[in-house]
Amino acid sequence: MSDQFPVKQGRIIRAMQRDIERLSTLAKTVAPTPVTKSSGAFHVPSTAAPDAPASGFKIYSDGGNFRIRNSNGTVRGFPGSNVFDHSMTSSTIGSAPTASDYNRLRTDVANLSQTVNNLLSSLRSVGLIG
């Protein structure tokens, strides 16, 4: 089998080098595309805490727990460890509520209030809200 490019190999290689240099330069001028949504889950493997960035923050996983390190070195975790789902006990109330139905509604409101307070406390404890 004969060589398809017997005399032009040097020219082909130089052309490829020019193309690589041109594409490399072009790649440096293209603005990055921010990730604002995903069609699937993001996998963030556990890693050691990163150094504090010069500005902004770094997101990482520590032992499967979501962490953020900001530019002053503060590490924050994802809040909510004491916030649990609440099952509504009053979801089966009929069209003519009884005294028992009213009591279940009161219990649900009290439990939901506690859940909201736990969530607010968790968000405040990591500085996400004031």
Residue-level pLDDT at 89: 73
- Are both 91 and 113 inside the same structural domain? yes
Q: Are residues 61 and 88 in the same domain?
A: no
CB within 8 A of 79, min separation 6: which ones? Answer: 119, 122, 123, 125, 126, 128
**Is 9 a domain residue?**
no
Write out the two tokens for 24.
Answer: 């490399």
**DSSP per-residue letters across 83-115:** ------SSTT--SS--HHHHHHHHHHHHHHHHH
* Domain membership flag for residue 20: no
Residue 58 and residue 84 in one domain: no
Does some domain include residue 130? Answer: yes
Q: Is residue 14 part of a domain?
A: no
Q: Rounded to an integer, what distance in angstroms lies between the CA atom of residue 100 and that of residue 90?
A: 9
Same domain, 92 and 52: no
Q: How many structural domains compose the chain? A: 2
- Determine the straight-line distance between the first and last CA of the chain, rounded to whole angstroms: 76
**Domain co-membership, 92 together with 107:** yes
Compute the half-sphere exposure of residue 70: CA atoms within 13 Å on the CB side of its CA: 7
Could you list the residue range(s) of the whole structural domain that residue 49 is in?
A: 43-78
Whether residues 65 and 107 share a domain: the answer is no
Per-residue pLDDT of the chain (130 residues; tens, 9 = 90+): 566 666 677 888 888 899 999 998 888 888 878 877 888 888 888 888 899 999 988 888 888 778 888 899 888 876 655 566 667 777 777 788 888 888 888 888 888 888 888 888 877 877 777 7
Asked if residue 33 is part of any domain, the answer here is: no
Q: Can you read off the two tokens belonging to residue 92?
A: 């089966």
Q: How far apart are CA 45 and CA 95, in angstroms?
A: 51
Asked, for residue 8, whether it belongs to a domain, the answer is no
